[in-house]
Amino acid sequence: MHVLAKQGCAGMAEVEPKTERAERPRLSAADWEQAALDLIAEQGLAAVAVEPLARRLNVTKGSFYWHFASRDALIEAALKRWEQADVEGLMRHVDPIEDPRERLTQLFLRTSHEMRTHVIYSALLNTLDHPAVQPVMQRLSLRRINYLAVAYRALGLSRREAMHRARLAYSAYVGFLQLMLQLKLPRMDSEDFEGYVAHVVAALIPSAAV
């Protein structure tokens, strides 16, 4: 019966280069969180169900409930991980830029290219009815909008103007995400896309005239 003859005896038993099969995954909580985020990016939070997720990882839910108390616990952990990574990305790559106009421009350009965190953001926008999602998305969105408003203020706009412009820019961001990633409007080719981004930058970042 036992077919593990070729398995345990070969000294250190290297990681089975061949038979693929089960691979003995041995998952950790972080693996589940990562898999959940992947699933959110691909199919939305609604697709994050325990049993399908377990099937995807070639285990059963008996495994899952060892690592997490419930589905919601997994979701909260995954969201926490994602939010943390998102904030760090902003602080590392954009915030150091001194000139506010350059900072805004780079923020727009960066956002238009880096995808993963925005794909998840877009997917989560469709599940705001979930109690764990709402507060995370609200924090994150307000933080970003305020970040924009501060930059616009530094460009010389009044408080109200800066706030309005920040809202407008962020709305355009959110809407574009939804139109492209969820609604799947006919995908623009690379050239057209760059043209659009340039248009947005020109339209939403006040010109040099102070």
Partner DNA sequence: AGGCCACCATACGGGGCAGTATGGTAGTCT
Partner DNA sequence: AGACTACCATACTGCCCCGTATGGTGGCCT
The mark string for 165-184 relative to its own copies (x by CB under 8 A, - otherwise) is x-xx-xxxxxxxxxx--xxx
Q: Is residue 72 within the footprint of DNA (CB under 7 A)? A: yes
Q: Judged by CB under 7 A, which stretch of 59-67, 107-115, 126-134, 143-151 contacts DNA?
A: 59-67
Measured from the CB atom, is 67 or 130 closer to its own copies?
Answer: 130
Contact partner, 8, from DNA, its own copies, none, Cβ < 5-8 Å per class: DNA
CA angle 29, 181, 122 (to 5 degrees): 50
Q: Is residue 13 within the footprint of DNA (CB under 7 A)? A: yes
Burial class (CB in 10 A: 0-12, 13-18, 19+), 125: middle
Q: How far is the CB of 56 from its own copies (least distance, A)?
A: 18
Residues 69 and 50: their CA atoms lie apart, in Å, by: 11
Residues 118 and 124: their CA atoms lie apart, in Å, by: 10
The mark string for 108-137 relative to its own copies (x by CB under 8 A, - otherwise) is -----------------xxxxx----x--x
Contact partner, 187, from its own copies, DNA, none, Cβ < 5-8 Å per class: none
In total, the chain counts a number of residues equal to 210
> Which tokens hold the place of 4?
């593990």
Helices (H) and strands (E) in the chain, counts: 10, 0
Q: How far is the CB of 137 from DNA (least distance, A)?
A: 20
